[in-house]
Structure 1
Amino acid sequence: MLYSLAILLLTDLISPSSQAAGRTERQGRQLPLIECLRNASVAVVTPADSELYETERVVLNKAVSDSTGGYSSCGGLLVDVEGLRQFEVVKRDNETLDVTVGPGVRQGYVYYHLWFDHKAWFNGGSEHSVGMGGITPGGGRGHRGRKYGLLCDTLTRLEMVTYDGSILQVTNSSESDLFWASCGGGGGQFGIITQISFTAFYVPSPTVVHLNFRYDIDQFVPLFEWYQEYATFKAPRDFFTKLIWLPLFGGIALDGEFIGTEEQLRDELKRSGLFQAAGEPACQQVVVYDPIQSILDSALLPVDDPESLIEAPSPSRFEKLSALADLSPTATAFPHRNVTFLVQSGISSEDTAAGNTNKKPVLAWQRDVHRVFQTPFSSSGFAYVNYVDRDIEDYLTAYYRENVARLRRVKKRYDPTIGFAYEQSIPPADE
């Protein structure tokens, strides 16, 4: 606990309306959580709007807490956990390591040091700028999920400060309901995570091979038919693949990572029937892969006139999830264990990147694209909580499905006064 309090010294409470304000003494009544942090000598930034402070709501800084890079103030204080950057690695056995990080540690840092210091990796996501405190409680899917499942499936312990000022050691045997809820329930729901412990793995092969094949757009149908059959039923768990639709370049990218040698990969491709189904790619690249580099290409589609391109699909990824199904939908708060594909779409506009605040045409275009993909690929309406979507009306069902009731009971137990809140918070259970 002493170490935990020392770590908390690095945390600031920041008002969204007064991030540049100097550190001052807070006058009047203190919130229990702030009292706990004050006892650890944490500096409190008093917001310019005192009424904002009295809302008694604390919101985790979503710039660190999720992969979208955005956050919501929701009329409260922001707790910026980026300064919590503890990083410790201990060998457990010949195959695994125990890793403990602060929530402000970025994925790229973990990848880098695990690889160069230990020749190991973990089942994190693909965006190196995302904080560990955000991706982990949301589930944490990555391109090694076929072999290892979600990042939260490797979680062993959390340290969490709840709204009443308690510092909890959260494991599968201690505060087990809170541990369950923190494995897929999303960040910023129940308390401030100050430590995260999880399992990392020694790389099981001396080489990891990355492939990138480009096909012409007219090969999409046979390529996708092959992909559905092979990725769903036949691909080994050491072989992760995805399709990326690149309309700007008039083609399809088949991207992948194979844990093994280049010779083994080429043998697997022959057995897969890829070339018989879709033919030889227009261009291909097969290289020994450095695990600290992202395998995801960033495909950007400039939009000068969104209305004129409304029929064109945005760059989208079709990804097959495999090891997730080793657990039942209720084993953790992450319910999407039996899904076949994760479909992700995104666009980038030069106007918005240049500071143009008129985002409505671009967002309208993206919503139309989402609707086009929703019908054939995701009629269920389910969604991944780390891909926050404000357009979802019934977000509780979309994110959590059959786990909603239990999550609300956990919220009622650990945050009954709704101290932690944002637009898509989990509400506490009714009396």
Structure 2
Amino acid sequence: MRDSNALPRRNFLQAGAALLYAGSYPGSLNAAPALHSPKNLRALGRSLHGRLVLPGEMGYAMAAAPNNARYADILPLAVAMCADAHDVQLCLRWAAEHRQQFAIRSGGHNYAGFSTTRGLLIDVKAMNKVWYDLDKNRGYIQAGACNQDMADAFSGTNFAIPSGRCPTVGASGLVLGGGWGFSATHAGLTCDSLVQTDVVLANGQHVSVDDRGDYRDLFWALRGGGGGNFGVNTAFSFELHEVKDDVTIFNIVWPGEKQIELLMALQDIQRNHACQISTRTKAYPDAPGAHPKHAQLLVATLGQFFGPREKALEALAPALKLVKPSKSDIRQMSYWQARDYLITDDPNGMYDVRSSYVADGLPREALERMLHWMTKWPGGSLLPQNMGILFAIGGKVRDVACDATAYVHRNANYIFEMESAWAPIDSPDVVRRQQAWLSEYFAAMQPFMLRQSYVNFPSRELPHWANAYYGTNLARLMRVKKKYDPGNLFTFEQSIPPA
């Protein structure tokens, strides 16, 4: 056990009144009155090894902006660009003593806007070093590293940490919520490779957490229990996976015919090659107009096969023979070339998201309902390419017991995700109609779902969100929360409550 850099002060929880709306609930208009002043903020800034960025200063607009621009008007009191764990400790103590709401940010990609705030934004992006020790088979990252930072460090080697595909997503949020990526079915979730992490707790201690020391219960919770619930993670250690063999990428689009048969075939392909292939399969219209016709709905699959091209073609043959693709890119390449091919910055801009898990696959009736709701899309200026996506998350992910880590969704083969997105040119009425469509569509699909949702695809509109995110692991997570954060310092709209 390591207990380092603890500040010689009383526990944050003893500082003044209990902190209200602490965590990262943006726009919490009922928060306790801020007891800050420019003088106090300047004192905090002088104490940081990094930088405190105030409104009006150069860099503030960039530092404050979240990925989901629908929350861009939630402007922080200040942005603390932390350089190390010492800065994180100071910021947490300042927020507690001044009863000031705060949010924690590593990448800023929280879909529901929980990584922004009207209080103090504690940003760890400047803590972004990545390194490795091949003799120990370990990769090390600081909490501000993003997917691209990890790829840059490991590209050219024969080793990798299973991670996500969006380059700017923060690795902290990724691993703490589980960690889907195109390697998940073959190598497991990002959290499944985690062996140790450093955390600043609510009491101000900076501790090392793993599955052998005094914090085993906390280590369990941090592998799938979501970011911002138990402390501020400052660094992570991972077991490395060897990736010396080539993979085969595929990017295939079919015209608007035999969509149900194609989607059934693609699910069979994933099921029959559960640990060898990873797919992101979807249907979407060929133009942004309202109420697309059934014949306008295209089917597409993107992903990688862990093996040579000829074996990938054999696996994909049932779908390739069913309908001639309008686009077919199937190529063998190195793991790192494939990673660069598969990256995306989607979603970006202004958007809303819903997600559920699928146990085995979507039956014909579910696919018919999905396509029917796609034809009901009310329209907007953007092409709705993410109306219904099946992210494969079975294979190796299912080899771990549901209660072995906080990530409970080990009984699923897919995350089913749907989005609406809009641009500034879209009127408020267009946005309202899109959001109503999304809510009704999501509800219509629930009979075919596990009633579970991915905490890294959060939604403020999700009913029974705690059970959806954590299922049968919720009660244990609440006990861990009470043990390490009894005063509920880390709280936001969808934070885990103490038992």
Task: Give the TM-score, by structure 2 length.
Answer: 0.70
Alignment match, 2:457: 387
Task: Show CA shifts across 1:79-117 (max 9, x none).
Answer: 211121122211046xxx31111111111110122113x
Deviation at 1:70, TM superposition (A): 2.7
Change (3 A) 1:265 1:2: same
Deviation at 1:73, TM superposition (A): 5.6
Could you tell me whether the CA contact under 8 Å between 1:157 and 1:170 is conserved in 2?
yes
**Rounded Cα–Cα distance in structure 2 between residues aligned with 1:327 and 1:15:** 32
Alignment match, 2:234: 194
- Spell out the pairing of 1:243-392 with structure 2 (5 A cutoff): 243-248=281-286, 250=296, 251-270=298-317, 273-276=318-321, 278-289=322-333, 290-293=337-340, 295=342, 309-310=377-378, 315-320=387-392, 321-351=394-424, 359-376=431-448, 378=449, 380-392=450-462
Task: Show CA shifts across 1:279-305 (max 9, x none).
Answer: 3323311123413315266599999xx
Alignment match, 1:60: 104
Change (3 A) 1:65 1:2: farther
Q: 2:43 aligns with which of 8, 13, 25?
A: 25
Alignment match, 1:164: 203
**Rounded Cα–Cα distance in structure 2 between residues aligned with 1:15 and 1:73:** 7
Alignment match, 2:70: none
Could you tell me whether the CA contact under 8 Å between 2:278 and 2:303 is conserved in 1?
yes
RMSD of Structure 2 on Structure 1 (CA): 4.0
Deviation at 1:161, TM superposition (A): 0.7
**Rounded Cα–Cα distance in structure 2 between residues aligned with 1:286 and 1:223:** 17
**Rounded Cα–Cα distance in structure 2 between residues aligned with 1:299 and 1:38:** 30
Unaligned runs of 5+ in 1: 7-12, 28-33
Q: How many residues align?
A: 397
Look up the equivalent residue of 2:412 and give its one-letter code. Answer: V
**Rounded Cα–Cα distance in structure 2 between residues aligned with 1:319 and 1:126:** 12
Sequence identity (%)? 23
**Rounded Cα–Cα distance in structure 2 between residues aligned with 1:177 and 1:39:** 22
Matched residue SS, 1:255? strand
Unaligned runs of 5+ in 2: 8-22, 28-33, 46-79, 288-295, 352-373
**Rounded Cα–Cα distance in structure 1 between residues aligned with 2:88 and 2:413:** 46
Matched residue SS, 1:288? strand
Change (3 A) 1:65 1:149: farther
1:80 matches 2:119 = no
Task: Show CA shifts across 1:251-304 (max 9, x none).
Answer: 11122201222223223334xx3345x23323311123413315266599999x
Look up the equivalent residue of 2:224 and give its one-letter code. Answer: G
Deviation at 1:239, TM superposition (A): 1.6
- Spell out the pairing of 1:82-231 with structure 2 (5 A cutoff): 82-92=125-135, 97-116=137-156, 118-174=157-213, 175-205=215-245, 207-231=246-270
Look up the equivalent residue of 1:415 and give its one-letter code. Answer: D
Change (3 A) 1:252 1:327: same
Change (3 A) 1:343 1:308: closer
1:241 matches 2:279 = yes
Task: Give the TM-score, by structure 1 length.
Answer: 0.80
Alignment match, 1:413: 483
**Rounded Cα–Cα distance in structure 2 between residues aligned with 1:51 and 1:236:** 47
**Rounded Cα–Cα distance in structure 1 between residues aligned with 2:226 and 2:376:** 37
Change (3 A) 1:214 1:187: same
Look up the equivalent residue of 1:309 and give its one-letter code. Answer: W
**Rounded Cα–Cα distance in structure 1 between residues aligned with 2:247 and 2:375:** 43
Could you tell me whether the CA contact under 8 Å between 1:208 and 1:259 is conserved in 2?
yes
